[in-house]
Amino acid sequence: MKRKGTIGSFALISLIILLGYIIYKKYGANLNREEIEDFATIFTSIILDAIPFIILGSFISAIIQIYVSEETIAKFIPKEGSILGYFEAALIGIIFPICECAIIPITRRLIKKGLPVGFGVTFMLSVPIINPVVIMSTYYAFYDKQTMVILRTAGGFVGAILIGIIVSVLQGDKDCLLLDSLESDNYCNCGCNAYIGDKNKFRAIIEHTNREFLDIARYLIFGAFISSIFQVVVSHGGFTFISENKTLVIIFMMFLAFALSLCSEADAFVARSFLTQYSFSGVAAFLILGPMLDLKNLIMLAGGFRKTFIFKLILSTLSIVFIIAYIFMICGI
């Protein structure tokens, strides 16, 4: 666990150093007051807008984490392979808006208990997007651009189903789980299930909400920081070679979604700040890919799934999300 944290910290530090170098090459030491004020305004607005949804999402997911078992979730996912089963697996998030720290461990256990791999992948990728709190936060962030809510929800829904089908075909009957992966009674990464008891459920909910909020907040602060820097740089003529090429924008925004590792309950507010400089299709790619595949999720996947399976999942996810965003671009969105 310590190693995973070290890898994540190293990646974040590396990204900060890279951005620092870019800003230094662009500005030197000549940041003026106006640019600093722009940065502060963007950064503060992102944080203040996102916090209520983080709290709400953390609280709801805590209640589900404490009161809803894996067995209950499994009852809503069909066991036999069928196209209809993928649709049902993709819609589970509407009923169970599970926190992102739990979705991968839960998926692993469900697959271990016999859930088809394709259904498990669809479930894992769709829940962080097809989620009432996420849909609501996206609606609030893009209150004047409500098309983005439809693009994100529909793109995430269709993408999760397609990726699930593709991974199922590629994986076949091969085992995708690591046999030596550590099992725990806590299927949530924060470990709050250890507090569950007849007299301690309220304490468990508060503990889970607190831990998840703090975990999400650190990623939000980092993401808001990076976003604010980019907005200041771009608004003063930086990265024009990216913003002028819509295909390159999609690729760039997918990279940012992976690197920033934002929570899906708060990423819409960071994405909104990018919309002033980058294309609609690029921002949609950011919002669809982030909840499906980012740095922190990749580290968690490596702890429970085989490398060959992870490679197939990554390749399928990147390809499908890019194709969906590219179709949006072709349609003039």
Q: What is the pLDDT of residues 202-214, one digit of tens each?
A: 888 888 788 878 8
Please provide the DSSP assignment of 231-300 as one string. Answer: HHHHHTTTTHHHHT-HHHHHHHHHHHHHHH---TTTHHHHHHHHTTTS-HHHHHHHHHHHHHS-HHHHHH
Structure tokens at 104: 């991968």
Give the distance from CA 158 to its chain's centroid: 16
Give the distance from CA 79 to its chain's centroid: 26
Contacts of 141 (CB under 8 A, 6+ apart): 49, 268, 269, 271, 272
Three-class secondary structure of residue 98 per DSSP: coil
* Average confidence (pLDDT) over 83-109: 84
Three-class secondary structure of residue 1 per DSSP: coil
Q: Quick one: what percent of the chain has pLDDT higher than 90?
A: 33
What are the angstrom distances between the C-alpha of 140 and each of 5, 69, 136? Answer: 32, 31, 6
Q: What is the pLDDT of residues 11-67, one digit of tens each?
A: 566 566 566 656 555 555 455 677 777 788 888 888 888 888 888 878 887 787 777
Question: What's residue 202's pLDDT?
Answer: 80
Q: How far apart are CA 180 and CA 304, in angstroms?
A: 8
Helices (H) and strands (E) in the chain, counts: 16, 0
Three-class secondary structure of residue 145 per DSSP: coil
Average per-residue pLDDT in the chain? 81
What are the angstrom distances between the C-alpha of 191 and each of 7, 62, 185, 196, 217? Answer: 21, 11, 9, 10, 18
Residue 113 DSSP class: T
The answer to whether residue 117 scores a pLDDT higher than 80 is: yes
Please provide the DSSP assignment of 168-217 as one string. Answer: HHHHTTS--B-TT----S--STT-GGGG-STTTHHHHHHHHHHHHHHHHH
CB 175 within 8 A of CB 40: no
Q: How far apart are CA 256 and CA 218, in angstroms?
A: 16
